[in-house]
Structure 1
Amino acid sequence: MSHTHDRQFLEITRRQVLEAGTIVSVSGLLPVAAQAQAPSPQPTRENGATVQVSFHVNGQPSALEIDARASLLDMLRERLGLVGAKKGCDHGQCGACTVHIDGRRVASCLTLAAKVDGRDVTTIEGIGRADALHPMQQAFIDHDALQCGYCTPGQIMAAIACVKEGHASTPEEIREYMSGNICRCGAYVGIVAAIAQAAPLIERS
């Protein structure tokens, strides 16, 4: 094969590659409907990709079709716009995502959203109002039991559960049963004091 023929072969190949690359790049800018001749089949319940869930969140009925693998935390934040529960570690180790299911605290990052079907979910958004704070919210303010505030929603939800579970009799007991919630700012003294203040005002389960 001659050198001239080799150059022609390389030029054609390079041109083909550039043209193909341009097509791929432009297609990424097109609306999804323009990129495919026929839409991809949507996941269905039959293949296990999605599930339908009906539940109450903060007293309001809700029904959604969700990815069967979705976490409760992601469903609350991304589908329902309830962003009070925070994504801290995403491994159930920091407590920032704490919410209640049927009155019991859970780490929503480790809880499948599908598991709330037919149940009651309560988030920080559902425990009080701006003009009528929950006793635990007011106690956190009274005792400066927060600094950056990132962990505070989870701390408050865990604190309410701690009281309702009957584990707020002494500072030592409070610390033990709040140990799953981390405050990276170190506001633990205020948190314990806030729980002790609010405990008599919260009815136990």
Structure 2
Amino acid sequence: MLSNEFERYAAADLHRPLEANDGVLETERLVSLVAGLLRQNHLQFLQTYKQEAVTAAQALLKQLMIEQLADAEDELDEIKGSVKLIQRVKAVHDVIKETAASSAGLLPNSQLNMRDTDNFLSLEEHVRVEVKLKDLLTSVCDYCNDRLASLISTQSDKQSITASQVTELSNIVESFTDMCENICGEAECCPESCL
């Protein structure tokens, strides 16, 4: 029951328009769902969210590719869309991380409104959640980076581009890679194909 509700939440959060608020959709609902899933020791929801985030990235990038008019400005729009999606994933990641830490008793003065103050998540389970959350962010950043590299490669093959366009594309990729590294907290989240 909670798993299905979380799946609906994830789909609604990740597939909302890019122009919508970048913050977390219904924070209290998310905290409640995550706490319930953690209490049941059902960590599969993290894999579900990762898959939904990649699916959302696929849909977003496909739509932006369809709308593309074959100039660098549209590639920039694609990157901005990817950035917004990654920021949404990061916002949900942060709420899940704080909920897990609070559930393990690691945040006694948490801002979260937990119904129970008992610590129902063991430190070992908390570590597992942390590892899965890191994988979630890294996977989404990797996917978007791979698609960006593919897009640039495709555009380079379709048309001859000038040295200044290559430089501009390189700067865009570097900026996007830096953003991913900042979000993931490490350089390894970005594949060498886009560096």
Q: Which has the higher contact order (CA 8 A, sep 6+)?
A: 2
Which entry has the higher C-alpha Rg, 1 or 2? Answer: 1
Task: Specify if TM > 0.5.
Answer: no
When normalised by structure 2's length, the TM-score is 0.27
Higher helix share: 2
When normalised by structure 1's length, the TM-score is 0.26
